[in-house]
Chain A
């Protein structure tokens, strides 16, 4: 008797654990299942979407690409281009800086590291008014990088390149043994060669994480993008889909669902492919 009591207790505890875990899993996954179902549902409204997987058709996906006023294909492409260029730039600019901080000793190094951390406490979106006015002013002289240009938006995003990302890379570069650099130096390799062929290659995981995190950040960025880009054909997914779904929520819902699924797919796949590295990066202080 006395031996079975704790066993029963343990069993109950485990059962309770399962209940909680299953419940949380359902809550986590449900909205995503729901939107997949809605995207496949040919009944065109928000109410119609409530019948989960009642009928399956690809009508909404076809409809998505046949609306001249909501150029989804253009939004998708814009987001891809802006995201890729910005994240590549972030990796490169951040990598340069991290290399300097990790491998060189110079006056102002500590101050530099601390000030990068401090500046990052103030995200760029706080200055959205100033960014808008700055790009307006630039646009009057150089229309190519002014308001309503994607190049201007990319330049703004690159302004945030030195930050948490630099820190992540800095931490990782520090784990690459300096003896490898020394050996390469003996073989006559210059600093640039060491950086590009040794440090970057050995740090591939962290580069992937920084690239992905900054890509996701750019894709999700709404504030600056909505202020800078006004022409529908130039907008990003975040801005376009938001306006699309708020204009006529119910009628546009199925098409929006298809657009959301298509937009999320690459990001989710990349996330799970790189999950191991991302989790490592999270502990070092990255917030999506």
Chain B
């Protein structure tokens, strides 16, 4: 018996046909997708990403086709997602923090130049109207214009006007062109915004001017009020002669400091971090937000821990009646989805109509969510309400794992209730709970939902230009700076704030993990 068993163990059983089939089909799909993806990417000129996609597929194929290296086979799928949507995202945040990416600084410099020229187009005063129709070919719109000499010209966005000798005329106006379809009124209405945004250059040089139309039947010549001088890389205001130069800040700036918008994306080094430290309008709010973030997370952890342990000890009494029901009621806040709880509390605490003011306090007018200090208190109360059941559950488990002998031994030695708790129960509790307290702190440090869904970070701090409120923690500030509707988007600064959170969390976790290791060794 033994020899056959051994031989079977040594030679791993060959993969069955179905396994092989599944493997080959799955790999084939992955590789096919990768090839298509790479092909499309090459088409967009993204050769680097395309190569990366092919490389990833090749590595995956190699991992799964070769024999052995089992761990890699099991780790690869999760790792791919981790690399793209976790590690790359972290790295990319780091990069954005060193750029001026944001409203007005989105594209490349060439894009900005083209937009600036088009934006500065103004109609030449008293210039004649050119009769026109809009024609379409292959989804591309063009203007078919008749100039004052009765010559038909055709052109579109980025395609200068050129003569169209075979156009069909009607009452001295070119109305159709072979190969194109003329849009009727309804079709023009449908594409209104697209047509209004078109500007058809008169010639290859944008300075010559361009045709634009407001109604689709008459076009006018527009000329740029800003002239771009390519050799000097400056914009000149044709009317005033003001020179706007590229000073390396991602926009054309005049000597008096006026910026032409849009600008473009450039690397700004540590400027975002520098602004956070030196600009009073950012530093002040940022410091108070950081302080409040620590207070918020710290108080939450301390309070939920305290309440949780207290309740766990109370309910740990086997002679207590109705333990089951109390337990269920107490963990309800944890079972209920947190984002809904936060929204419900925002209604309960509503100063004018909420239940707390209207019913509990008999029509009081307490600004729970609109006063800077009270809003902080409210946010903390709600978060403790949300968080104590977790601590209660964990503490209950931890308490039950403490051997009764320890506590009885303490009693025999004459220790009172308090002394037993402080000297025996608490240290033993901390062994299991300390890592969870750290995790809870880290979680609450970035507890976006409670803050944003309850107060949106408000009430707004009106002493600063920045879009920041009294209950904003760092992560809600990041969100507001990046996606705020009132203050404009500044991805660079927001990412710099995110990097600050990274650093703080890193320091906290290193310090605390060291502490807990010490605790474990003590035990």
Assess the B483–A227 pair: CB atoms within 8 A. Answer: yes
Q: Which of A1-47 contact B (CB under 8 A)?
A: 17, 20-22, 24-25, 27-29, 31-32, 34-35, 38, 45-47
Assess the A159–B82 pair: CB atoms within 8 A. Answer: yes
Pick out which of these stretches binds chain B: A57-65, A66-74, A129-137, A202-210: A129-137
Q: Which of A260-275 contact B (CB under 8 A)?
A: 260, 263-264, 267-268, 271-272, 275
Closest-CB distance, A130 to chain B (whole angstroms): 4
Contact with B along A219-233 (1 / 0, CB 8 A): 110110001000000
Assess the A186–B40 pair: CB atoms within 8 A. Answer: no
Assess the B85–A222 pair: CB atoms within 8 A. Answer: no
Known: A32-B332, A104-B71, A156-B85. A45 touches B353 (CB 8 A): yes
Tell whether B75 is near chain A: CB-to-CB under 8 Å. Answer: yes
Q: Which residues of B contact A246 (CB under 8 A)?
A: 456
Q: Which residues of A contact B183 (CB under 8 A)?
A: none
Interface of A: prevailing SS = helix
Closest-CB distance, B488 to chain A (whole angstroms): 14
Tell whether B143 is near chain A: CB-to-CB under 8 Å. Answer: no
Tell whether B425 is near chain A: CB-to-CB under 8 Å. Answer: no
Q: Which 3 A-B pairs have the closest CB atoms?
A: A159-B85, A127-B89, A100-B74
Closest-CB distance, B383 to chain A (whole angstroms): 13
Assess the A122–B353 pair: CB atoms within 8 A. Answer: no
Q: Which residues of A contact B328 (CB under 8 A)?
A: 272
Closest to B46 in A: A141
Query: How far apart sit A188 and B452, CA to CA, in the bound complex (Å)?
Result: 56
Query: How far apart sit A222 and B483, CA to CA, in the bound complex (Å)?
Result: 13
Query: How far apart sit A136 and B147, CA to CA, in the bound complex (Å)?
Result: 42
- Count residues of chain A with CB under 8 A from any CB of chain B: 94
Tell whether A256 is near chain B: CB-to-CB under 8 Å. Answer: yes
Closest-CB distance, B26 to chain A (whole angstroms): 12
Tell whether A253 is near chain B: CB-to-CB under 8 Å. Answer: yes
Interface of B: prevailing SS = helix
Q: Which of A175-234 contact B (CB under 8 A)?
A: 185-186, 188, 190-192, 195, 216, 219-220, 222-223, 227
Selected from A17, A132, A161, A263, the residue in CB contact (under 8 A) with B482 is A132
Tell whether B291 is near chain A: CB-to-CB under 8 Å. Answer: no
Known: A119-B86, A141-B40. A93 touches B440 (CB 8 A): no
Size category of the B interface is 35 or more
Q: Which residues of A contact B436 (CB under 8 A)?
A: 282-283, 285, 287
Closest-CB distance, A12 to chain B (whole angstroms): 14
Closest-CB distance, B313 to chain A (whole angstroms): 10
Assess the A124–B89 pair: CB atoms within 8 A. Answer: yes
Known: A125-B448, A282-B394, A283-B397. A249 touches B81 (CB 8 A): no
Given contacts A104-B70, A124-B86, A271-B334, 20 further A-B contacts (CB under 8 A): A31-B333, A31-B385, A46-B347, A50-B359, A93-B78, A127-B89, A127-B498, A129-B498, A130-B90, A133-B101, A134-B89, A141-B44, A159-B89, A190-B15, A223-B475, A250-B350, A256-B343, A263-B340, A268-B332, A272-B328
Assess the A28–B74 pair: CB atoms within 8 A. Answer: no
Known: A21-B311, A34-B348, A190-B15. A285 touches B479 (CB 8 A): no
Tell whether A49 is near chain B: CB-to-CB under 8 Å. Answer: yes
Assess the A96–B75 pair: CB atoms within 8 A. Answer: yes
Tell whether B87 is near chain A: CB-to-CB under 8 Å. Answer: yes
Known: A17-B314, A122-B90, A246-B456. A29 touches B339 (CB 8 A): no
Tell whether B84 is near chain A: CB-to-CB under 8 Å. Answer: yes
Selected from B41, B90, B393, B494, the residue in CB contact (under 8 A) with A282 is B393
Query: How far apart sit A214 and B475, CA to CA, in the bound complex (Å)?
Result: 21
Query: How far apart sit A190 and B341, CA to CA, in the bound complex (Å)?
Result: 47
Q: Which residues of B contact A272 (CB under 8 A)?
A: 328, 335
Contact with A along B64-89 (1 / 0, CB 8 A): 00000011001101110110111111
Q: Would you list 26 pairs from A and B whose C-beta atoms are within 8 A, ordered by A residue? A: A21-B311, A21-B320, A34-B344, A34-B348, A96-B78, A121-B506, A122-B502, A125-B446, A126-B475, A126-B478, A133-B96, A134-B92, A141-B40, A156-B85, A158-B85, A159-B86, A190-B13, A250-B350, A264-B336, A267-B336, A282-B393, A285-B435, A287-B390, A287-B443, A288-B338, A288-B390
Q: Which residues of B contact A250 (CB under 8 A)?
A: 350, 353
Tell whether A80 is near chain B: CB-to-CB under 8 Å. Answer: no
Tell whether A151 is near chain B: CB-to-CB under 8 Å. Answer: no
User: Chain A CB within 10 Å — which of B74, B456, B498, B505 has the most?
Assistant: B74
Known: A20-B314, A28-B329, A134-B89. A142 touches B482 (CB 8 A): no
Assess the B86–A46 pair: CB atoms within 8 A. Answer: no
Query: How far apart sit A265 and B280, CA to CA, in the bound complex (Å)?
Result: 48
Q: Which residues of A contact B475 (CB under 8 A)?
A: 125-126, 223
Contact with B along A276-288 (1 / 0, CB 8 A): 0001101101011
Selected from A121, A263, A275, the residue in CB contact (under 8 A) with B337 is A263
